Amino acid sequence: MTSDIPPEPYSPSWRRTAGAFLILACIVLWAGLVVELAGPVGRLPALVQALFYLVAGLAWIWILPLRRILGWSETGRWRRP
């Protein structure tokens, strides 16, 4: 037995657009910070540089702020219940 009521059309949330712009802003700000730190970090040994950029890139950008922005754009909450 099926229902004759058609499904409601998809209506995207404004949070997804706002979240996308927040993510782009974070990436631009982070890139500016990395450019500023390129001089001092460039004087370190290559292995230390690689470790710095790996940790800074993965931990800061993808795990800390962007994870929260993505969660907020999906649920509307900054923290998990």
Chain-centre distance for alpha carbon 5:
38
CB 56 within 8 A of CB 48: no
CB 78 within 8 A of CB 69: no
Strands (E), 1-76: none
Name the burial class of residue 66, with classes exposed (0-12), middle (13-18) and buried (19+) by CB atoms within 10 angstroms of its CB: middle
Does 9 map to a domain? no
Number of structural domains (the chain) is: 1
Q: Model confidence over 10-43: pLDDT tens digits?
A: 777 888 899 999 988 988 888 888 888 889 989 9
Does 2 map to a domain? no
Please state whether the predicted TM-score (pTM) of the whole model is above 0.95: no
Of the two residues 9 and 62, the one the predictor is more confident about is 9
Does 4 map to a domain? no
How confident is residue 9, by pLDDT bands cut at 50, 70 and 90?
confident
Q: Which domain holds residue 26?
A: 14-75
Does 80 map to a domain? no
Q: Is the pLDDT of residue 4 over 60?
A: yes
